[in-house]
Amino acid sequence: MCLTGSFPTELCKLVNLTIIELDENRLSGSIPPEIGNCKALQRLTFPINFFTSELPKEVGNLTELVVFNISFNKLGGRIPPEIGCCKRLQRLDLSQNNFCSELPNEIGTLMQLEVLILSNNKLLGRIPSILGNLSRLTELQMGGNQFSGGIPRELGWLSSIQIAMNISHNSLSGTIPPELGNLALLEYLLLNNNQLTGEIPSTFVDLSSLLGLNLSCNHLSGPIPSFSLLQNLTSSSFLGNEALCGEPLPSCHRFSTLSSSTDSRSSGYPIGEIVAIIFAAIGGLSLVLIAVILFFLRLPVEAVAPLHDTQFSSAESGFCILPKDGFKVNDLVTATNYFDEDFVIGRGASGTVYKAILKSGLPVALKKLTSNREGSSMENSFRAEILTLGKIRHRNIVKLYGYCYHEGSNLLLYEYMSRGSLERAASWKILQFRLEYKVYDSSWGCTWALLSAPRLQASNHSPRYQIKQHSS
């Protein structure tokens, strides 16, 4: 059954009372100043209750007090400095309350104090350096407050501290004093969640009894001292310190590279960045240039070589690639009177050749190939042959001016040879008649064209043609 109500002031009339223990009840209200009348009290504990208001200064009258525990209540305000009068005090626990003042220096005069627990309040200001005089202190718990400033180096004088030193979750700054390395009996050191800077002191090698260390969530830097005591700890003991490196954290080599880069930026000479940008730009331009070159290398030749300025006309009858003179396929049809027999100058297995005189007066030979069954699109092989013929230039090979597709037929536009075919020139009578005009030059020219054929076939698209003595 839990006690309720307020603190029983009648207890204070018992002047010889040495122990008051009211732990874990539902007592509330304030602690009455009459508590100071119990001058024989050696043990006063009432943790886990609902006491409020401030701790009365009359507690300083309890000069025989050895244990004072009022943790887990709702007490607030300041800690009365009169508590320093309790010179026999060995255990003081004010944790889990709402005390919001600075820690009075008088606590540092309690020379018999062995356990000091002030954690999870709202205590502020600096940690009094006088706490270093508590030579019998075995446990110091001050975490979860609002202490600021540096860690007093005098805490390194607590030679008897053994159980723990916890000053985590405050706003402490500055470096870790190397004097903490003197705490040879200390088992747990908790400095995490502060704003500490600098390196971990090498004197920590002397913390021979250390079982746990937490330095996480600070601003520490540099390498973790290379001794087994620290390197055997888990990485969670050091996390949250961006510039801290070495076992059990990643190697310091990476951090030295980052540091050099940071120094370069801060000095106004970001050499690494400039070099990286230059190489990236060069690499990007090279890739673009290669892509452009490959694009043009892969482009098919879409125009016959001799037709320097070709025109494409897409009429309903088909398409046409013709010389730059600019005539249309209808001009060819009209010039041959719709491919009338009167204009035929030759026939062959592949088609019929017509003579056509264009509007400009230029005579041409128009070869109409056999009907294409594929409708309005030319075969790829035919296109490749036309493109190759357009590139060939030889005095004994007829020039190809252009080609068209018209109403199901492929039309080839050649240079008109007014003197007829080789067959005609090779007949004996004509050869005898023409000897003085060196007709044999044509035969030599034909031979030269045959010798040139391998070079013309160097292209993958170069066709292989039969050599005939007539033009059709």
Checking if the pLDDT of 430 tops 70, the result is no
Cis ω on the peptide bond leading into residue 201 (within 30° of 0)?
A: no
Confidence tier at 235 by pLDDT (50, 70, 90): confident
**Domain at 311-456, CATH class:** alpha beta
DSSP states of 129-192: GGGGG-TT--EEE--SSEEEEPPPGGGGG-TT--SEEE--SSEEEEEPPGGGGG-TT--EEE--
Tell me the average pLDDT of the chain: 79
pLDDT in tens, 3-13: 999 998 888 88
pLDDT at 150: 97
Residues in contact with 399: Cβ distance below 8 Å, sequence separation at least 6, in sequence order: 306, 393, 414, 415
Checking if the pLDDT of 61 tops 80, the result is yes
Cα–Cα distance, 43 to 17 (Å, whole number): 10
188 burial level (CB within 10 Å; 0-12, 13-18, 19+): middle
Q: Which bin fits 157, alpha (ψ -120 to 50), beta or left (φ > 0)? A: alpha
pLDDT in tens, 378-424: 455 566 656 666 666 666 677 777 777 666 677 787 777 776 665 55
pLDDT in tens, 265-300: 444 556 667 777 887 888 888 888 888 888 777 765
Checking if the pLDDT of 226 tops 70, the result is yes
**Region 70-96 average pLDDT:** 96
Is the pLDDT higher at 54 or at 231? 54
| Strand order across the 409-415 sheet | 311-315, 318-322, 400-406, 409-415, 363-371, 351-357, 344-347
Cα–Cα distance, 201 to 190 (Å, whole number): 15
Checking if the pLDDT of 467 tops 50, the result is no
**Does residue 367 have a known ligand-binding role?**
yes
In the chain, where are the structural domains located? 4-266, 311-456
Is the pLDDT higher at 90 or at 469? 90
Checking if the pLDDT of 331 tops 80, the result is no
Q: What percent of the chain has pLDDT over 90?
A: 45
pTM for this one?
A: 0.56
**Region 348-371 average pLDDT:** 77
pLDDT at 369: 76
Cα–Cα distance, 291 to 411 (Å, whole number): 37
Is the pLDDT higher at 359 or at 180? 180
Fold annotation for 4-266:
3.80.10
pLDDT at 367: 82
pLDDT at 458: 41
Checking if the pLDDT of 202 tops 80, the result is yes
Residues in contact with 66: Cβ distance below 8 Å, sequence separation at least 6, in sequence order: 42, 43, 88, 89, 90, 91
- Bridge partner residues of 353 (DSSP): 346, 367
Fold agreement (4-266, 311-456): no
Nearest to 447 by CA among 400, 404, 394, 410: 394
CA Rg, the chain, in Å? 54
Checking if the pLDDT of 428 tops 50, the result is no
pLDDT in tens, 129-177: 999 999 999 999 999 999 999 999 999 999 999 999 999 999 999 999 9
**Region 301-321 average pLDDT:** 43
Minimum mean pLDDT range among 35-49, 136-150, 254-268: 254-268
pLDDT at 421: 63
Residues in contact with 254: Cβ distance below 8 Å, sequence separation at least 6, in sequence order: 245
Looking at residue 54, what DSSP letter applies?
B
**Region 315-337 average pLDDT:** 63
Checking if the pLDDT of 311 tops 50, the result is no
pLDDT at 376: 42
pLDDT at 280: 83
pLDDT at 347: 79
